[in-house]
C-alpha cells in the first residue's frame, strides 16, 4: 500500500465524545487498512514529533481518528476546526490479518485501545463478533460498532457502567475461535497468555513511544519470538505468541 506524506489533509469533523475523547474525520482519498496508523501533526515546530494515531475508520475517501487528549500534541489536534488541516504520513504498519480471521471472534479493548478495532470489525466477513470493552468510567464510540457486532459487553473500573472490574472478566477465550485486542499492555499480556494456554489464536495491537513511525529510528524495537521487531513497521499488530509466548 502506498505511503504518503500530506502536509495539508483537510479536517471534515472533529467532535468531543466526552472524557477527553475526540473523533476527527479527515479527507483522505486513499486506502488505509484495519490496524494501520498515521503519523499525525497539526502544528509547525512544537511539539517536535508527530503523533502516531491509529485508523479508527476509513472508506477510501475519509479517514477517522478516535483519540484521547493526553498531552500538548493531542490537545492541539482537539482544537482543529472543520476546514483546517492536519499533516499526515501514512498509512503505516501492518494491521489485522482480517482475511485469516473466521468464526466466533472476541474483540477486546481497554480504554482508547478501542480505536483501531472499529475498522477491524468492519473488515471481517462471515464472523460472529462479540465486543468486550473496558473503560475507566464510561463507554464511548460504541454506537459505530453496533451494526457490525452480535453483542457488546462493557466493563468499567468504577462500575458506573456495565461490569465493575476487568474486561477480561467478561469472557472466556476458550469460547471463541479468534481473539483480537488493543489496550493497556498488562491487559493484553494477561489475555494473550490465556489465549496461548487455551490454544486460541490471538492478535494484539501494540503501542510504544516512537519517533519516526516508519522503522528508521529504532525507538520502538521489541523482543519477539522472531527476533527484534519494530512495533511501528513490523507491527503494530502481532500474533500474541510472537510477543508473549
Partner 1 sequence: MLKTVLNGVTMKNPVIAASGTFGFGREYDQFFDISRLGGISSKGLTLEERFGNEGERVYETPSGLINSIGLQNPGVDAFIREDLPFLRQKDTAVIANLGGSTIESYLEGVEKLNETDVDMIELNISCPNVKHGGMALGIKCDIAYEAVKQVRAVCKKPLMVKLSPNAENIVEMALRCEEAGADSLSLVNTFQAMAIDIYKRKPVFNNVFAGLSGPAVFPIALRMVYQVCGAVKIPVVGLGGIASWQDAAAFLMAGATAVQVGTANFVKPDICLDIIQGLEQFLKEQGCRSVSEIIGAARV
Q: How far is CA 225 from CA 234, 240, 243, 244, in A?
A: 13, 10, 7, 8
* Residue whose entry in the numeric block shows the C-alpha cell 482543529: 80
C-alpha cell at 187: 491487559
177 vs 189 by CB, closer to partner 1: 189
Options 39-47, 54-62, 116-124, 127-135: segment touching partner 1 (CB under 8 A): 39-47
26 vs 133 by CB, closer to partner 1: 26
Q: How far apart are CA 10 and CA 187, in angstroms?
A: 35
Closest CA to 214 of 49, 95, 89, 113: 89
68 vs 128 by CB, closer to partner 1: 68
Please give the residues from 98 up to 157 whose contact with partner 1 meets the rule CB under 8 A.
none
Instruction: Pick from 12, 49, 69, 196 the residue near partner 1 by CB under 8 A.
Output: 49
Instruction: Pick from 18, 48, 143, 199 the residue near partner 1 by CB under 8 A.
Output: 48
5 vs 146 by CB, closer to partner 1: 5
Element (H, E) at 74: helix 72-78
Please give the residues from 208 up to 237 whose contact with partner 1 meets the rule CB under 8 A.
209-221, 223, 228, 233
Phi, psi dihedrals of residue 122, rounded to the nearest 5°: -65, -25
Residues of this chain that bind partner 1 (CB under 8 A): 2-5, 41, 45-50, 89, 209-221, 223, 228, 233
Amino acid at each position: 500500500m502506498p505511503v504518503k506524506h500530506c502536509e495539508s489533509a483537510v479536517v471534515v469533523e472533529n467532535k468531543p465524545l466526552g472524557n477527553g475523547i475526540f473523533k476527527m474525520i479527515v479527507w483522505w482519498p486513499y486506502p488505509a487498512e484495519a490496524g494501520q496508523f498515521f503519523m499525525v501533526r497539526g502544528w509547525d515546530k512544537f511539539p517536535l514529533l508527530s503523533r502516531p494515531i491509529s485508523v479508527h475508520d476509513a472508506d477510501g475517501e475519509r479517514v477517522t481518528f478516535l483519540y484521547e487528549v493526553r498531552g500538548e500534541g493531542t490537545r492541539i489536534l482537539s482544537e482543529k476546526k472543520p476546514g483546517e488541516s492536519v499533516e499526515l504520513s501514512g498509512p503505516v504498519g501492518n494491521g489485522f490479518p482480517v482475511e485469516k480471521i473466521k468464526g466466533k471472534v472476541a474483540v477486546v479493548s481497554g480504554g482508547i485501545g478501542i480505536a483501531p478495532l472499529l475498522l477491524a470489525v468492519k473488515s471481517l466477513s462471515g464472523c460472529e463478533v462479540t465486543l468486550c470493552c473496558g473503560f475507566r468510567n464510561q463507554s464511548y464510540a460504541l454506537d459505530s460498532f453496533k451494526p457490525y457486532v452480535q453483542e457488546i459487553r462493557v466493563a468499567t473500573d468504577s462500575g458506573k457502567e456495565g461490569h465493575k472490574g476487568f474486561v477480561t472478566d467478561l469472557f472466556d477465550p476458550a469460547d471463541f475461535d479468534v481473539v483480537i485486542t488493543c489496550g493497556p499492555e498488562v491487559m493484553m499480556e494477561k489475555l494473550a497468555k490465556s489465549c496461548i494456554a487455551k490454544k486460541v489464536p490471538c492478535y494484539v495491537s501494540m503501542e510504544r513511544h516512537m519517533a519516526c513511525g516508519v522503522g528508521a529510528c529504532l525507538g520502538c524495537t521489541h523482543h519477539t519470538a522472531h527476533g527484534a521487531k519494530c512495533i511501528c513497521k513490523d507491527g503494530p499488530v502481532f500474533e500474541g505468541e510472537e510477543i508473549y509466548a
